[in-house]
Amino acid sequence: MLAKVRSSSVLGLEAYPVEVEVDVATGLPGFAIVGLPDTAVQEAKERVRAAIKNANFEVPTRRITVNLAPADVRKEGPSFDLPMAVAVLAATGQLPAEACEGTLFLGELSLDGAVRPTNGVLSAALHAAQSGLRRLVVPADNAQEAAIVPGVEVYGVSHLLEAARFLSGELLLTPVTSNGAHEPEPDEEVDFSEVRGQEHAKRALEIAAAGGHNVLLVGPPGCGKTMLARRLPTILPPMTWEEAVEVTRIYSAAGALPARGSLMRRRPFRAPHHTASYAALLGGGNVPRPGEVSLAHHGVLFLDELPEFHRDALEALRQPLEEGRVTLARAAATVTFPARFTLVAAMNPCPCGSRGDRLRECSCTPSQVRRYQAKVSGPLLDRIDLHVEVPRLESRTLLDGQTGEPSSVIRDRVARARRLQEQRYAGKSYRCNAHAPGRVLRKVATPDAAGRELLRAAIERLGLSARAHDRVLRVARTIADLEGSENVTAAHVAEAIQYRSLDRTR
């Protein structure tokens, strides 16, 4: 007796079809799984046996052979448990085989038959829709996630018996509908109004949010660098539906979605520790998984104590900063993950952190300062648009009790600037100034005569590279957008040059 059930697996972010074939034949009792299964898949035979028995079905005392096709691609993870169990029940006549047609199954089984959540369900749902499958049976905890995809009926089940009764027609289940269409709730825990002083740094972060620019905050310990960085997502505009689906898909593949979560509508904020490895930042593994740069897609990646990160990890950031994606090459496959994030990095001005501090004397020698700053390479700094000095706050600023602008007011200005850029780059693959290619940038950000002369002088005095020149133009264009100006003037260029402070010290 033979039965076939549709399932899928995920490589990178893309799901590919897997057909679960089960043959129940006469002979010595046994359970064999073929088709390049990993250890987790091999162990499924014990879970499937116990789940079938504890769901009050008959466990066949014959030889069971399970083939996961295509057989030349390695299968990993426990998501094949449910399709295996359904196929065994169909092969032994305990379920009607025709009820499984046009349906894709995913889910891990516990020994008592409960269906546990699994990773990559959103990618599987997108694959099902593209393949013309009409139904998707997944764990109940993953149902909201899968229901994001239109055109597929999603049924969430919490037990193998529930799935069997549904397939046999004994139980009527209602397709799950997504609840992810609502706008994200504002983050009330943090707000820019809590930041005292630091007007220059707050202005820089507003520019960064408006144009999608990367930022480096340089200042002594305790000056508010981390506080500023954590409030940047509160002034970013809400994600579009397409952006939210992309982010949700990444978190689904990484197994990082919130419990019973559906569509992620709030922009991600990732802050890995400086001991994070290359693989943790960029992604990795025998079967590559998303790293921090991909988990920060369409959001903010905060790297505190930037010089303390591993040098190879920092240098590997060049590709995602430039291209908005990261490519991981392995012997089995090459996988590309999206990684279009806003980088906010923070560092001290020197090893002791007191260089330039008006209250504390720096104890570092010039050679120690040079070595410390050299941990961040010039090519990486060139890819950071805004270099911002964050000084220690004066006592009167801390004690006067005055609050600044709330995030909602700044976010409105950012949203207006973003709308101008979306109109300017309509129909393009990029949507903001930071991502526009150089040939386009030189058309839309050419400064007036006074601005060009100011830029020429800055190039000669600061020794700006060609990339740094383009960065100044990008920032100047964003400053003009915040003012609603169609032209880039000398004032916009002058402010943009202020944010290249490290070019003056290198």
Residue 195 C-beta-side C-alpha neighbours within 13 Å = 28
**467 located within any domain:** no
**421 located within any domain:** yes
Bond into 70 cis (ω within 30): yes
Name the residue type at position 434: A
Helix H or strand E segment including 31: strand 30-34
Looking at residue 331, what is its pLDDT?
A: 67
Q: Which single residue is written with the structure tokens 């104890």?
A: 363
Q: Do residue 360 and residue 425 come from a single domain?
A: yes
Q: Do residue 340 and residue 199 come from a single domain?
A: yes
Q: Do residue 162 and residue 205 come from a single domain?
A: no
Rounded Cα–Cα distance for residues 82 and 94 (Å): 15
Name the residue type at position 328: L
Q: What DSSP state is assigned to residue 97? A: G
User: CA 170: distance to chain centroid?
Assistant: 41
Phi and psi torsions of 109, nearest 5°: -110, 140
Distances (CA, A) of 139 to 26, 63, 118, 146: 33, 28, 8, 10
List the CATH number of the domain containing 41.
3.30.230.10
**479 located within any domain:** no
DSSP annotation string for 236-247? SPPPPHHHHHHH
- In contact, 138 and 107? CB cutoff 8 Å: yes
Q: What is the pTM of this model?
A: 0.89
- The contacts of residue 426 (CB under 8 Å, 6+ apart) are none
Least Cα distance to 56 among 4, 112, 119, 7 occurs for 112
DSSP annotation string for 49-85? HHHHHHTT-PPPSSEEEEEEESTTS-B-SSTTHHHHH
Helix H or strand E segment including 302: strand 300-303
Rounded Cα–Cα distance for residues 130 and 121 (Å): 14
Q: Do residue 67 and residue 141 come from a single domain?
A: yes
In our burial notation (b when 16+ CB lie closer than 10 A, e otherwise), range 470-494 reads: bbbbbbbbbbbbbeeeeebbbbbbb
Q: Do residue 215 and residue 143 come from a single domain?
A: no
Q: Do residue 120 and residue 239 come from a single domain?
A: no
Burial of 385 by CB count in 10 Å (0-12 exposed, 13-18 middle, 19+ buried)?
buried
Rounded Cα–Cα distance for residues 7 and 15 (Å): 10
**452 located within any domain:** no
Distances (CA, A) of 269 to 107, 229, 247, 286, 478: 29, 9, 12, 26, 23
- In contact, 176 and 144? CB cutoff 8 Å: yes
User: Mind listing the pLDDT tens digit for each residue in 298-320?
Assistant: 999 999 999 999 999 999 999 89
Phi and psi torsions of 143, nearest 5°: -65, -40
Looking at residue 186, what is its pLDDT?
A: 55
Q: Do residue 117 and residue 214 come from a single domain?
A: no
Burial of 71 by CB count in 10 Å (0-12 exposed, 13-18 middle, 19+ buried)?
exposed
Which domain does 248 fall in, by range? 192-435
**446 located within any domain:** no
Q: Do residue 102 and residue 210 come from a single domain?
A: no
- The total of structural domains in the chain comes to 2
**470 located within any domain:** no
Q: Do residue 60 and residue 196 come from a single domain?
A: no
SS3 14: strand
Largest CA distance in the chain: 89
Q: Dihedral through CA 190, CA 192, CA 193, CA 194, nearest 10? A: 60
Residue 210 tokens read as: 């408006």
- The contacts of residue 229 (CB under 8 Å, 6+ apart) are 217, 271, 300, 302, 304, 344, 346
Phi and psi torsions of 502, nearest 5°: -70, -25
Q: Which single residue is written with the structure tokens 């940047």?
A: 232
List the CATH number of the domain containing 277.
3.40.50.300
**221 located within any domain:** yes
**379 located within any domain:** yes
Helix axes 199-211 and 466-483, enclosed angle (nearest 10): 100
CA R_g for the chain: 27
Looking at residue 468, what is its pLDDT?
A: 82
Least Cα distance to 318 among 205, 206, 439, 214 occurs for 214
Can you list the positions of beta strands (E) in 143-221?
A: 153-157, 215-218
> pLDDT under 70 in the chain at which residues?
180-188, 259-261, 331-332, 395-399, 401-402, 501, 503-506
Q: Do residue 36 and residue 78 come from a single domain?
A: yes
Q: Do residue 361 and residue 422 come from a single domain?
A: yes
Q: Do residue 113 and residue 200 come from a single domain?
A: no
Residue 461 tokens read as: 């005095």
